[in-house]
Structure 1
């Protein structure tokens, strides 16, 4: 994954400034922001400080003829540039960097940037929807949900940016929509969608079909796992069916539907008897075994632990107050770029925060991150 190659894709971003007033090239500002965030900067002033401290190193990659722009200039430019163009640049870069394998799980989920809410200005909180490669732990693309809208409208826009041919796209119940399923299939990929009450007819068909005694059968396609830890035993059992007649006419409403699945989770706390069973229903356009469906449904939640958690704990995303115009959305994309480059490096076995600190104080390591070197 070559961060320097990314600069070629960023050239599609138009410079919104009046050219006769420009003192610092847009490419220099974007490069500065990216490497400063890789180095642990969390705001405009820290980005300026990073630039001042690393000016000689920065001049190896950019012009910086007039030195480092002040933080007000950085903030103004990042609030003005088109977020959609930055998202397209990011997705195009990842399409070249990331080669999807057949059946690879791509998890799609949304995350609110809590720090972007402003009660005084009555600004709505920014909500980003991201596509995450569970196998490689990298973000493939992201879009912001429109104000007074939700993930349902943002997901098709995100899918349009991605090369997902042959992949299995997992989405939670919010994305269980026929239009989204059609979009996935049109991209020559398969979907695995969680079913809940936002699809009442489909959920009712599952309720009518499923009986608890099905979990005790030895015939049919079933698969189970058991995990123990911290005084808790968690058993998961999955059963699948490719006989779609159990759904009635509803089955014909979902494009290329091939598999329905049920995952039952039973938890026991500290040796106590289980108090209940949690059921999750799934539909998929892929021909999945019970083992494949259970593993894919669990893999989906890696987007919480491997992406959202690392953004909040490692990069303190929820504490970031940047929200001016398009700046909050752009800064979220920059964090994803930084996280991808940091995650790709395996030469330093450490968490995101330690990698950032090393990059901030060690120019050689920062250069290796950008060049995609030091990978084993």
Structure 2
């Protein structure tokens, strides 16, 4: 049985760029059979990857992930003097995968990223938070006003899901609205392909009650 040190020596000899090219070639060869509908892109800092002696910061990697198949589709290292905003477009360019939707958290809610996703002939769901303050507040305020009037005279779609397990109950409510129902949003024409805004209200019950409200922009 190979030891820990043997694995370490083998991994240390692998040339990263060649390995990535081989891995992507393998992924592209099999994903056509997997019918991927959603790819989640997210950045994570690798635990215990720092080295104090060499003044090396912890490694941060942006990953493309298929949750339905539990499969990593590609990764991009974030360079020391950069952040997710440079790694995400590079990762999207790497993936030659025809999928329905790419999801990214609020860090990736950028106009150039929506343009790139549309260029690659895919759709997107991007979390909307304070980094796009004017757009976020316009969407959030519209939903608050609409809910007070029970969406009277407004077209929308609604979905509810309830899950129970581990002594916890979680209810999710989702409202989707076509942007044509809203007043003109801030810089709306610059958000390539934007068609829908989304609000999700999650209610978790354990020994107490926690409610979380999130907004998204959606190209579908």
Bin of the TM-score, shorter chain as denominator length: 0.7 to 0.9
Kindly state the Cα deviation for residue 102 of structure 1 after the two structures are TM-superposed.
6.7
Which of the pair is proportionally richer in strand? 2
Kindly state the Cα deviation for residue 211 of structure 1 after the two structures are TM-superposed.
1.2
Q: Describe the superposition over 1:201-229 as per-residue Cα deviations: whole angstroms up to 9, x where unpaired.
A: 11111222121762884873111112223
- 204, 207, 224: which is aligned to 2:140? 207
- Does 2:45 align with 1:112? yes
Which of the pair is proportionally richer in helix? 1
Partner of 2:219: 285
RMSD: 2.6
Partner of 1:260: 197
Kindly state the Cα deviation for residue 249 of structure 1 after the two structures are TM-superposed.
4.0
Q: Distance in 1 between matches of 2:33 and 2:41?
A: 15
Bigger Cα Rg = 1
Partner of 2:162: 226
Q: Distance in 1 between matches of 2:44 and 2:177?
A: 32
Partner of 2:125: 192
Partner of 2:187: 250
TM-score normalised by L of structure 1: 0.52
Q: Distance in 1 between matches of 2:33 and 2:86?
A: 25
Kindly state the Cα deviation for residue 264 of structure 1 after the two structures are TM-superposed.
0.6
3-state SS, counterpart of residue 146 of structure 1: coil
Q: Distance in 1 between matches of 2:103 and 2:191?
A: 15
TM-score normalised by L of structure 2: 0.86
Off by >6 Å, runs of 4+ in structure 1: 100-103
Kindly state the Cα deviation for residue 282 of structure 1 after the two structures are TM-superposed.
0.6
Partner of 1:178: 111
Q: Distance in 2 between matches of 1:196 and 1:42?
A: 47
C-alpha contact (below 8 Å) 1:233/1:269 kept by paired residues? yes
Residue 229 and residue 136 in structure 1: after superposition, are their counterparts in 2 closer, same or farther (change >3 A)? closer
Higher relative CO (CA 8 A, sep ≥ 6), structure 1 or 2? 1
C-alpha contact (below 8 Å) 2:160/2:173 kept by paired residues? yes
3-state SS, counterpart of residue 53 of structure 2: coil
3-state SS, counterpart of residue 222 of structure 1: strand
Q: Describe the superposition over 1:236-292 as per-residue Cα deviations: whole angstroms up to 9, x where unpaired.
A: 11101013433524321200111110001122333x5x4x53111011111xxxxxx
Gaps of 5+ in 1: 1-38, 49-70, 287-376
Partner of 2:59: 126
Q: Distance in 2 between matches of 1:136 and 1:229?
A: 22
3-state SS, counterpart of residue 165 of structure 1: coil
C-alpha contact (below 8 Å) 1:264/1:278 kept by paired residues? yes
Q: Distance in 1 between matches of 2:142 and 2:22?
A: 46
Kindly state the Cα deviation for residue 183 of structure 1 after the two structures are TM-superposed.
1.1
